[in-house]
Structure 1
Amino acid sequence: MRYGVIGLGAIAPFFLEAIERCPDSTLAAVCDLDPAKTEALAKEGTAAFTDYRQLLAADVCDAVIITLPNHVHAEAAIAALDAGVAVCCEKPLAITSVDANRMAEAAERNGKTLFTAFHRRYNRHLIALREALPEDRSQITKLTVRYHENILEHIGGDGWYLDPERCGGGCLIDNGPNALDMAHALVGGLSLVGARLGDVRSGIEYVAELDLVSHDGVPVRVELDWALTTGETKDVVAELADGSVLRADMLEGFTAFKSSLQHEYDGILADFRDQVAARRTVCGTGVEIVGLVEDAYAAGREESGRRRSKLPARTKAVRLLFHTSENRGMSLSQWGTRCIPAGQIHELVTTTDRPRAAGDRIDAVGFLGFVEFQEGTVIALGDEVRLADDRLIGTVAGFDECHFPNHYNIVIASDRLWTATSAGLEPGDDIRFVEG
Structure 2
Amino acid sequence: MRIGIIGLGVIAPYFLRAIEQDEQLELTAACDLDLAKFAELPEGTATFTDYQDLLASGLVDGVVVTLPNDLHAAVVAEALEAGVHVCCEKPLTVHTADARMLAEVSARTGSTLFTAFHRRYNSHVLRLAEELPDRAQIAKVTARYHERIEEHTGSDRWYLDVRRCGGGCVIDNGPNALDALRQVAGELTLVDATIGDVRGGVEFYAELSLRTEDGIPVQVELDWALPTGEVKDITVHLKDGSTRSADMLAGYHGFKSSLDHEYQGIMADFRAAVAAGPERRDDGPVVVDLVEQAYLVARAKEQRLRMPAKEPAEATVVKRLFHRRTDRGMVLSPWASRCVRAGEVHELVTTTDRPGSTGDRVDAVGFLGFAEFRTATVVERGDQVWADGRLLGVVAGFDECHYPNHYNILIDTDRLLTGEDVDLRAGHTVVFKEHA
Q: TM-score, normalized by length of structure 2?
A: 0.70
Q: Corresponding residue for 2:33?
A: 33
* Aligned mate of 1:212, from 201, 210, 213: 210
Q: Corresponding residue for 1:130?
A: 129
Q: Corresponding residue for 1:77?
A: 76
Is the contact made by 1:115 and 1:282 (CA closer than 8 Å) also made in structure 2?
no
Q: Corresponding residue for 1:276?
A: 274
Query: How far does the alpha carbon of each residue in 1:18-71 deviate from its partner, in whole angstroms, 9 at most, with x for none?
Result: 0010012100100001111124427x0001000110000001111000000000
Query: How far does the alpha carbon of each residue in 1:168-207 deviate from its partner, in whole angstroms, 9 at most, with x for none?
Result: 0000000000000011001111100000000011111000
Matched position secondary structure for 1:251: coil
Q: How does 1:342-361 map to 2 (within 5 A)?
A: none
Matched position secondary structure for 2:240: coil
Q: Corresponding residue for 2:3?
A: 3
Distance change (3 Å), C-alpha of 1:210 and 1:106 = same
Distance change (3 Å), C-alpha of 1:281 and 1:56 = farther
Give me the whole-angstrom Cα distance separating, in 2, the residues matched to 1:245 and 1:171: 26
Query: How far does the alpha carbon of each residue in 1:291-348 deviate from its partner, in whole angstroms, 9 at most, with x for none?
Result: 000000011112236999543699xxxxxxxxxxxxxxxxxxxxxxxxxxxxxxxxxx
Give me the whole-angstrom Cα distance separating, in 2, the residues matched to 1:287 and 1:163: 22
* Structure 2 residue identity aligned to 1:16: L
Q: Corresponding residue for 1:335?
A: none
Deviation at 1:149, TM superposition (A): 0.1
* Aligned mate of 2:220, from 193, 208, 222: 222
Give me the whole-angstrom Cα distance separating, in 2, the residues matched to 1:239 and 1:80: 43
Give me the whole-angstrom Cα distance separating, in 1, the residues matched to 2:147 and 2:165: 17
* Structure 2 residue identity aligned to 1:171: C
Q: Corresponding residue for 1:17?
A: 17
Identity %: 56
Is the contact made by 2:61 and 2:84 (CA closer than 8 Å) also made in structure 1?
yes
Q: Corresponding residue for 2:167?
A: 169
Give me the whole-angstrom Cα distance separating, in 2, the residues matched to 1:103 and 1:295: 19
Q: Does 2:88 match 1:86?
A: no
Give me the whole-angstrom Cα distance separating, in 2, the residues matched to 1:249 and 1:289: 22
* Structure 2 residue identity aligned to 1:25: L
Q: Corresponding residue for 1:382?
A: none
Give me the whole-angstrom Cα distance separating, in 2, the residues matched to 1:305 and 1:210: 14
* Aligned mate of 1:287, from 285, 288, 304: 285
What is the count of residue pairs matched by the alignment?
Answer: 317
* Structure 2 residue identity aligned to 1:270: A
Q: Which runs of 5+ in 1 are unaligned?
A: 315-373, 378-436
Distance change (3 Å), C-alpha of 1:156 and 1:128 = same
* Structure 1 residue identity aligned to 2:59: V
Matched position secondary structure for 2:44: coil
Give me the whole-angstrom Cα distance separating, in 2, the residues matched to 1:297 and 1:219: 19
Matched position secondary structure for 1:10: coil
* Structure 1 residue identity aligned to 2:49: T
Is the contact made by 1:81 and 1:107 (CA closer than 8 Å) also made in structure 2?
yes
Q: How does 1:412-431 map to 2 (within 5 A)?
A: none
* Structure 1 residue identity aligned to 2:27: L
Give me the whole-angstrom Cα distance separating, in 2, the residues matched to 1:110 and 1:9: 29
Query: How far does the alpha carbon of each residue in 1:154-180 deviate from its partner, in whole angstroms, 9 at most, with x for none?
Result: 001100000000000000000000000
Greater alpha carbon shift after TM alignment, 80-89 vs 302-311: 302-311
Distance change (3 Å), C-alpha of 1:145 and 1:306 = closer
* Structure 1 residue identity aligned to 2:226: L
Q: Corresponding residue for 1:183?
A: 181
Q: Corresponding residue for 1:415?
A: none
Q: Corresponding residue for 2:195?
A: 197
Is the contact made by 2:187 and 2:213 (CA closer than 8 Å) also made in structure 1?
yes
Matched position secondary structure for 2:145: strand
Deviation at 1:284, TM superposition (A): 3.7
Give me the whole-angstrom Cα distance separating, in 2, the residues matched to 1:126 and 1:3: 28
Query: How far does the alpha carbon of each residue in 1:388-420 deviate from its partner, in whole angstroms, 9 at most, with x for none?
Result: xxxxxxxxxxxxxxxxxxxxxxxxxxxxxxxxx
* Aligned mate of 2:255, from 257, 262, 265: 257
RMSD after superposition: 2.1
Is the contact made by 2:2 and 2:25 (CA closer than 8 Å) also made in structure 1?
yes
Give me the whole-angstrom Cα distance separating, in 1, the residues matched to 2:137 and 2:300: 33
Give me the whole-angstrom Cα distance separating, in 1, the residues matched to 2:16 and 2:162: 27
Query: How far does the alpha carbon of each residue in 1:81-117 deviate from its partner, in whole angstroms, 9 at most, with x for none?
Result: 0000110000000000011011111101101110110
Give me the whole-angstrom Cα distance separating, in 1, the residues matched to 2:58 and 2:311: 60
Query: How far does the alpha carbon of each residue in 1:90-147 deviate from its partner, in whole angstroms, 9 at most, with x for none?
Result: 000000001101111110110111011000000000011111102x323211111100
Is the contact made by 2:196 and 2:304 (CA closer than 8 Å) also made in structure 1?
no
Give me the whole-angstrom Cα distance separating, in 1, the residues matched to 2:141 and 2:95: 27
Distance change (3 Å), C-alpha of 1:376 and 1:112 = same
Q: TM-score, normalized by length of structure 1?
A: 0.70
Q: Report which of the two structures shows the higher radius of gyration computed on alpha carbons.
A: 2
Q: Does 2:90 match 1:97?
A: no
Matched position secondary structure for 1:146: strand
Deviation at 1:229, TM superposition (A): 1.1
